[in-house]
Structure 1
Amino acid sequence: MEEVLEPATPVVEAIFGAVALPVLIYFLLINTSYLVLVVAAALEFRRSTRQLPFAGREELLGSGLVPGVSVVTSMYNEEVGIKVATQSMLALHYPRHEVIVVDDGSSDGGFEVLRAAFDLVEVPRRMPTDVAVREVATSVHVPRNGRTRLTVVRKPNSGRSDSLNVGVNFATQDLVVFVDSDSVLDPDALLAVARPFAEDPVRMVAGGGVIRAVNGCSVRGGRVTEVRMSTSWLARIQVVEYLRAFHLGRCGWSRLKSLILISGAFGVFRRDVLVEVGGLDPGSIGEDFELVMRVHRHMRRTGRDYRVQFITEPICWTEVPETTAVLRKQRRRWHRGLWETLWAYRSMLLNPRYGRVGLIAVPYYWLFELIAPALELFGLVLVVVGWLLGVVDMGYFLLFMAVAYGYAMLVTLAAMTVEELSFHKYPRWRDLVSTAASAVVENLGYRQATAIWRLEGWAQSLAGRKQEWGTMTRTGFDTADRSDG
């Protein structure tokens, strides 16, 4: 190996001499920033935990003053789980909510499953045009009993974002909650996400809840009845990732009043604000990120005081990929969406007009989210090749591994500790042990693979290649359904 690499020694020496210290500083900064977000999240958890006994959920449940909620979901070939998902959304604890399911031109029997389950009949209802859409509704269906607050809209296929915009047009309530049709919400999720809007109806414009991996959990009747870790190491590592992203990243950013990303799997928006900004962008790959950025820009440009908040209590359970092929497509798309959104809103970068969002959050996402995979792979390859050539001594090699990976593992374990002390979602010790083990295993190939896939997505965008959304294979995670079958 050394003989093959020998001719590159002078080049490696020159590059290493120039970037050895900056590479260490970069990894030190990125992991320290994560630690700062962990501390901010811990403070937010402490505040919300103290307020929880006085949150007044029972009062909200019986109050006529809470804002109404329209739960909007788009389905495309979701025959396996759409019945349970819809029943679960209808059964959420809330005094006034409706469910709108938009069938995005499915080619399977999903609509027929809903028709049979809820005795749907077609009604002559025209679609409002508050938000522009690419494809209009071809038919509207409601339960025959006239009591179940469910509306099923059928339309030609035009993508998830356009379908959700159709749902916004049919929504009749003040708040719109976007939920993926393959996800399961906690029973009190709407009460939790609506509370900040009830307390501050003028300033609150958007909020997001916690996303957790449902893989391995027991689900019956659209409810998570037992929380367990998956037996798949790929899913376990994603549990750690989701924990960092929500209980570390987004909660911390919310505490710093700089939240710029709300997951499309579970987000709540004021309907009037959605109409003002034009709804979701059907042409965007990172539509959830792009929407929140557009809301920030709109509110800042119109000079209005507003809040975008992460809400720590409600949980949306979703199925994560258990094959590398599906995971690879997902990470490609995520990073492509990150790049295209940041580039589209580059005018906000370091722009004091946009406050903390422009001066802190947007630069952070450029430096530590977008560029991170390129610098991580560059640093790792440089150090390994340099060590093989004798350019890098053992001391620097160990220091790099400690700062880049050891520090990252400690930060992840700190986030897990904060989450466990605050919420204690995993009752079994074996699940906690496997979660901790995943924080270590994540660094042994998984992290490097996802970095490569993220760069692939970035490269595809720069090359102008058409985005392929890919297919997430669903198993229908309702335990009762599987046992009955």
Structure 2
Amino acid sequence: MNPEAIIDILFHFITYTIFAYSVLLLLSYIFIGLFSIGETRKYMRKNQFTDYRVLAASVHAPSVSVLAPAYNEGKTIVENVRSLLSIYYTHLEVIVINDGSKDDGLEQLIAAYDLEKTEMFIDVKLPCKEIKAVYKSRNSIYHKLLVVDKVNGGKADALNAGINVSSNDILVCIDVDCILEQDALLKMIKPFMEQTDKRVIATGGVVRIANSCIIEDGRLIKVKLAEDYLPRIQILEYIRAFLLGRMAWTRLNGLMLISGAFGAFDKEIAVKCGGYNHNTVGEDMELVVRMRRYMEEKNEPYVVTYIPDPLCWTEAPSTFRILGRQRNRWIRGTYETLKFHKVMFFNPRYRLLGMLSYPYWFFFEMCAPVVEFLGFIGFFIFALTGYLDWQFFIAFLLFITCFGYLYSAFAILMEVLTFNQYKRRVDIFRLLITGLSEPFYYHPFVVWSAIRGYLDLIKKKKGWGEMTRQGFTKKKNTVIAGTVVPVNPAVTASVPEPEAKDEEGWVMETKIIPAIGRSRMFLNKSFRYYVQHALILLLLLVCARVFELVYDNIQHGTAPLFGKVILSAALKDLAFFFRTITICYPLFVLLYAIHQPVARWFFIILSLFIVLIQLGLSFYFVSTLVPLGADLWGYSKAEIRQTVGSAGSINAASIAMFIAAVLMIISAFVFLPRQRRNNKWLVRLFFILCLLSLSRASESVQEEMPGQEYSNLLSVNKSWFFYSESYRHFFPTEAGVDIYSAAYTGRIPDGTADTALASYRYIDENNFPFLHTTDSTLDVLSPFFNRSPRAPDIVILLVEGLGRAFTNKGAYLGNFTPFLDSLSDKSLYWENFLSAGGRTFAALPSIMGSLPFASQGFSELGNAMPEHFSLINLAAGNGYRTSFYYGGDAHFDFMDTYMEKNHISSVNDEKTFPAGYIKMPGENGFSWGYGDKELFRRYLQVQPTSAQPSLNVLLTVSTHNPFLINEQDKYLQAFEQRMQYLGFTDDLKKQSRNYSRQYASILFTDDALRDFFAQYSQRPDFSNTVFLITGDHRMPEIPMSTKLDRYHVPLIIYSPLLKRTAKFSSVSSHFDITPSLLAWMKKSYNWHVPDSVSWIGSGLDTARTFRNIHAYPLKQTKTDLNDFVMGEYMVSGDNFFRINNNMGLSPENDNARQRALIDAFANFRSRNEKFIRTNKIVPDSLLRKYLP
């Protein structure tokens, strides 16, 4: 076998071994995380009402001996012993063992606690070094204190000496430098009193890090997050280890380690096992394992528990030197413990201990540093020899890193949800940020320290060096009394009296000015380094924009005004880039001051997120033609999963693109040359542009638009849009209302339509902000209908995405609804009709109830929706049977909740469809549900014909993204034929084919409606039925021409009862449907309806010519309320338009009219805010009068 073959086999063996090892390790972490949740919840439920004062005073409470070995702990020993003496417990003795310290710790204790030597018989049960003396206090206040002075023999020997001196039943072993909570001992001892069937042999307590905490007189006064990096990253490590790891193993009763810093043991079992082992540096773990082994071999039932409460606070190493010694000791202790008890390895005699706990510690605690270190060496070897698969390696590394960070974030979340020691949000944020550096900075050092521990084992080195403490108290400047400084008279006489110097000037010259100079040099150096990396980020953002433009061009063709789009997009991207790097620089410079590599990797990771988010937002826009804003925060996780899954966005290609993007970003920072120093003029230019980015100029650049709506949206920087909209969502600012304006007072200036919103007479604005009187006799529909003997059935067909842009004659994209077009000629048809929202969430509340939006849509209130009037419940109150039909999941957008709140008779969605119905095709296994033909077939099969009148609402779904229908090929061909029929030019055909699936779905739905009406006409109730057809909003996946185009839908009212047909060019909206239907039903069929309502709309306008007598707020997304129409004008954000007779928009410069719309819009928002606060829409007394 040649050497290359051997290397190849070795490479694959190592690769797959490390991969399998990593998978098992990650699975074990998942198992630990999940198991810890249950155990922690169990503990909190069990102990939330425990009164520990009863336990402390109980005569049945076991007696406790606290053992605290001390070696060179002089800096903290007095206050730490004071902390131990303050423990709240009755049967207690505190034994401090001075293990031959070289400092003055013993002298401090003698002086502080008035100690004296005492003659004491010591029952030596365990071997230990010579005990020189035992001290007790002459002060009765400290009667619980014993101090043992002995020859140095190590921690294990000191603890054995303490056990020999102790006289109580339970041993509590702690590090003397620890600070205990007042109730720590009570919580530790409680498990010993609870168990009856199993003997508790040991209990551990959670140890937390006290660095930077405020400690006075041995007591923890205030918990603070550590200021220094090393203690802070150890806080995160301790939270993971104690709150997740220890608790999970406790649940399994497989715990092998109790921290030497704080643990309680059954003295009898500990002595029978031989006490602490002198031959290991991991005496704490070894004792627990030996006690467990003893109980297993004796076949006695037992348990080892852990307390998740933060009971003990200790000082963590704050230097890498001390930290390295600590981790060196830990790994050696683990190895020695497992070696001493190797007989248990996969030995079924020891049950869970031998079959699970021991193997876990062997493979994933002891071997992990070796595997990581060998993997690191193997990486270099295989990289140099060309065997490394870089794509797999980087993807795998990123996955492991992300998993580790998410695991840390989960641990932080557990801490926040349980004991929440760090109250400030900024502390939690700092912990999360600190966790980002762990894989690249802290963890490699820990691994290397463990490797050094193994090297020390090979060298048979026993010690690990002194663990020097800084102490909890700050050093103070002291003056030693009685110190005399000799004076030489001759010298004094020869030296002239110095002139009194200017103290202020001296400080300025020697302190302040040099400090300023050093700061300037540091900032200059850090900024140059920052610019060096920022240039790479700028290059990546340019690549992201190029991808967006190219991808958009492939999907949708060349956008109108493409040259202006490129120029506008470049300026907006630059504005976003400089604003972003300016905001991030302060954090970068702080990390740079700590450690330059940390700052560098922070910027790389930050850039990775920035660019990936930018790419994701670009992909979203090209797919939907709508930039993603704060509407993301308006949907639940289930709704997002359903939307993304059904759209087929997650597939092999998108995953490959994601991996490629990650590789490109990382490679850019790793491989692009950074040796060349930045030109000083470039740095200065960056500095100036960063300052400008904080001014209003950045916002002005973002507001510049090429002109056409689709081009405007394409030019927008998607990240800027998303972040700014999200910021406004989470930190909203109330728009100011001019209370003296005409729109606010209702005095409309000449030339402005008399809008209903301004002229309503409100009844109780403070409690019911939208409640107003209405003239329910203002009926505009009865002149068009014959009166039938029985009240008519009402069928409302709400068609997903049915926009006026492609519906009926005059559609600027072409008429792709031939049936609806023919039906409109036999109907009442409003060609300039508006939806209330840009998504489906607004359709049902506005159509059925003419309701305000609340915060994220009325139906999003869910179960908190207040009782209100609607067409549904008023119909039910007048003897109607009501029903709702939808081919998808009716819980989406809380549609089912809204219907149930209106006491609807039945809700029929995909869950109620029986076998025999075919769902729409889906991508990646996701489907929106049943197509429109199946929905109509289901309705016609189950909807009875009876003497009782009915109101039925049907919502279609076939024209929803991803536009997959069951007869795809048939309707794609129908699309081609329709373009030919409409006389499209070749260029127009080419452009339209970019949206072939959208147009095919429209033709499919049009055919489904044709079949529906054909079959319905055969029913006996057809002649007494009124049909309303409208769109929930305009389909956004075909480019829009204006802001208003998103809301422009048709309204068709068809019925055999019609006297005459008509086409109306006046503007009405979804808000007007219910008021007009109720007025008609009251006049023609004597419906009992209220005269005090909370309608937003005032009723349909039946003027034949173009006009708008209404005022409407329009909500594009759940979180985006920026559009308002009043009269023939529209305000959208900061833009003001005039509406022409084909619903197009042209920019308008009329400050008076613009101010009138802004104030009227602010008036609505003010009422909407009141409604959000009060959640009141209609008085209960009014509801009881009209509702069943």
The one-character-per-residue Cα deviations of 1:286-335 (angstroms, maximum 9, x if unpaired) are: 11111011001111111111111111125211111111111111111111
Does residue 57 (structure 1) correspond to residue 52 (structure 2)? The answer is yes
Query: How far did 1:468 drift?
Result: 2.1
Aligned equivalent of 1:178, options 173, 191, 194: 173
Aligned equivalent of 1:277, options 269, 273, 287: 273
Which residue in the other structure is 1:322 paired with? Answer: 318
- What is the 5 A alignment of 1:425-440? 425-440=421-436
The one-character-per-residue Cα deviations of 1:104-163 (angstroms, maximum 9, x if unpaired) are: 112221111111111111111121112222x13211111113452111111111111111
Aligned equivalent of 1:111, options 99, 102, 106: 106
Query: How far did 1:98 drift?
Result: 1.1
Distance in 2 (CA, whole Å) between partners of 1:82 and 1:363 is 39
Letter in 2 for 1:299: M
Which residue in the other structure is 1:136 paired with? Answer: 130
Distance in 2 (CA, whole Å) between partners of 1:198 and 1:137 is 33
Which residue in the other structure is 1:4 paired with? Answer: none
The one-character-per-residue Cα deviations of 1:214-235 (angstroms, maximum 9, x if unpaired) are: 1121111212222222222122
TM-score, normalised by the number of residues in structure 2 = 0.39
CA distance change for structure 1 residues 58 and 29 in 2, over 3 Å: closer, same or farther?
Answer: same
Query: How far did 1:9 drift?
Result: 8.2
Distance in 2 (CA, whole Å) between partners of 1:107 and 1:374 is 36
Other structure's SS at 1:268 match: strand
Distance in 2 (CA, whole Å) between partners of 1:335 and 1:137 is 30
Letter in 1 for 2:330: W
Which residue in the other structure is 2:388 paired with? Answer: 392
Task: Decide which structure has the larger Cα Rg and report it.
Answer: 2
Other structure's SS at 2:134 match: strand
> Structure 2: any 5+ residue segments left out of the alignment?
480-1188
Query: How far did 1:10 drift?
Result: 7.3
Query: How far did 1:51 drift?
Result: 1.4
Distance in 1 (CA, whole Å) between partners of 2:213 and 2:26 is 31
Distance in 2 (CA, whole Å) between partners of 1:325 and 1:475 is 13
Which residue in the other structure is 1:85 paired with? Answer: 80
Aligned equivalent of 2:463, options 463, 468, 480: 468
Aligned equivalent of 1:452, options 448, 465, 471: 448
The one-character-per-residue Cα deviations of 1:382-431 (angstroms, maximum 9, x if unpaired) are: 34554565433343022321343221111121122112211111011221
Distance in 2 (CA, whole Å) between partners of 1:139 and 1:323 is 35
Letter in 2 for 1:287: E
Does residue 260 (structure 1) correspond to residue 256 (structure 2)? The answer is yes
Does residue 377 (structure 1) correspond to residue 401 (structure 2)? The answer is no
Which residue in the other structure is 2:213 paired with? Answer: 217
Distance in 1 (CA, whole Å) between partners of 2:201 and 2:124 is 21
Which residue in the other structure is 2:145 paired with? Answer: 150
Which residue in the other structure is 2:243 paired with? Answer: 247
Which residue in the other structure is 1:420 paired with? Answer: 416
> Structure 1: any 5+ residue segments left out of the alignment?
1-7
Conserved 8 A contact 1:31-1:411: no
Distance in 2 (CA, whole Å) between partners of 1:402 and 1:36 is 21
Distance in 1 (CA, whole Å) between partners of 2:356 and 2:263 is 23
Which residue in the other structure is 2:332 paired with? Answer: 336
Other structure's SS at 2:73 match: coil
Distance in 2 (CA, whole Å) between partners of 1:286 and 1:354 is 21
Distance in 2 (CA, whole Å) between partners of 1:27 and 1:299 is 33
Q: Which deviates more, 20-29 or 65-74?
A: 20-29
Distance in 1 (CA, whole Å) between partners of 2:116 and 2:251 is 46
Other structure's SS at 2:131 match: coil
Query: How far did 1:278 drift?
Result: 1.2
Distance in 2 (CA, whole Å) between partners of 1:464 and 1:391 is 35
Letter in 1 for 2:370: A
Does residue 301 (structure 1) correspond to residue 297 (structure 2)? The answer is yes
Conserved 8 A contact 1:222-1:478: no
Does residue 68 (structure 1) correspond to residue 63 (structure 2)? The answer is yes
Letter in 1 for 2:15: A
Query: How far did 1:183 drift?
Result: 0.8
Query: How far did 1:483 drift?
Result: 9.5
Conserved 8 A contact 1:60-1:191: yes
**Two-structure CA RMSD over aligned residues (Å):** 2.0
Query: How far did 1:59 drift?
Result: 1.4
Query: How far did 1:58 drift?
Result: 2.2
CA distance change for structure 1 residues 271 and 45 in 2, over 3 Å: closer, same or farther?
Answer: same
Identity of aligned residues (%): 35
Letter in 1 for 2:25: I
Distance in 1 (CA, whole Å) between partners of 2:278 and 2:254 is 25
Distance in 2 (CA, whole Å) between partners of 1:136 and 1:464 is 29
Query: How far did 1:54 drift?
Result: 3.0
Other structure's SS at 2:265 match: strand
Which residue in the other structure is 1:198 paired with? Answer: 193
Aligned equivalent of 1:352, options 348, 351, 354: 348
Letter in 1 for 2:234: Q
Query: How far did 1:478 drift?
Result: 3.6
Count of residue pairs brought into register by the alignment: 475
Letter in 2 for 1:109: D
Other structure's SS at 1:333 match: helix
Conserved 8 A contact 1:244-1:415: yes
Aligned equivalent of 1:17, options 12, 27, 33: 12
Distance in 1 (CA, whole Å) between partners of 2:187 and 2:455 is 40
Query: How far did 1:460 drift?
Result: 2.2
Distance in 2 (CA, whole Å) between partners of 1:56 and 1:308 is 23
Distance in 2 (CA, whole Å) between partners of 1:46 and 1:460 is 42
Distance in 2 (CA, whole Å) between partners of 1:425 and 1:275 is 37
Distance in 2 (CA, whole Å) between partners of 1:177 and 1:103 is 17
TM-score, normalised by the number of residues in structure 1 = 0.93
Conserved 8 A contact 1:88-1:221: yes
The one-character-per-residue Cα deviations of 1:19-45 (angstroms, maximum 9, x if unpaired) are: 323322211221221121111111111
CA distance change for structure 1 residues 396 and 384 in 2, over 3 Å: closer, same or farther?
Answer: farther
Distance in 2 (CA, whole Å) between partners of 1:138 and 1:388 is 62
Conserved 8 A contact 1:72-1:164: yes
Aligned equivalent of 2:163, options 159, 168, 173: 168
Distance in 1 (CA, whole Å) between partners of 2:389 and 2:159 is 55
Conserved 8 A contact 2:120-2:134: yes
Distance in 1 (CA, whole Å) between partners of 2:317 and 2:61 is 37
Letter in 2 for 1:372: A
Does residue 120 (structure 1) correspond to residue 115 (structure 2)? The answer is yes
Other structure's SS at 1:423 match: coil
Which residue in the other structure is 2:397 paired with? Answer: 401
Letter in 2 for 1:136: E
The one-character-per-residue Cα deviations of 1:233-267 (angstroms, maximum 9, x if unpaired) are: 12211111111111111111111110010111101
Letter in 2 for 1:190: L
Other structure's SS at 1:402 match: helix
Other structure's SS at 1:125 match: coil
Conserved 8 A contact 1:103-1:153: yes
Distance in 2 (CA, whole Å) between partners of 1:186 and 1:484 is 31
Distance in 2 (CA, whole Å) between partners of 1:184 and 1:24 is 42
Letter in 2 for 1:84: E
Letter in 2 for 1:328: G
Distance in 2 (CA, whole Å) between partners of 1:426 and 1:246 is 16
Which residue in the other structure is 1:238 paired with? Answer: 234
Q: State the structure with bigger RCO (CA 8 A, min sep 6), 1 or 2.
A: 1
Letter in 2 for 1:291: L
Conserved 8 A contact 2:211-2:316: yes
Distance in 1 (CA, whole Å) between partners of 2:87 and 2:213 is 19
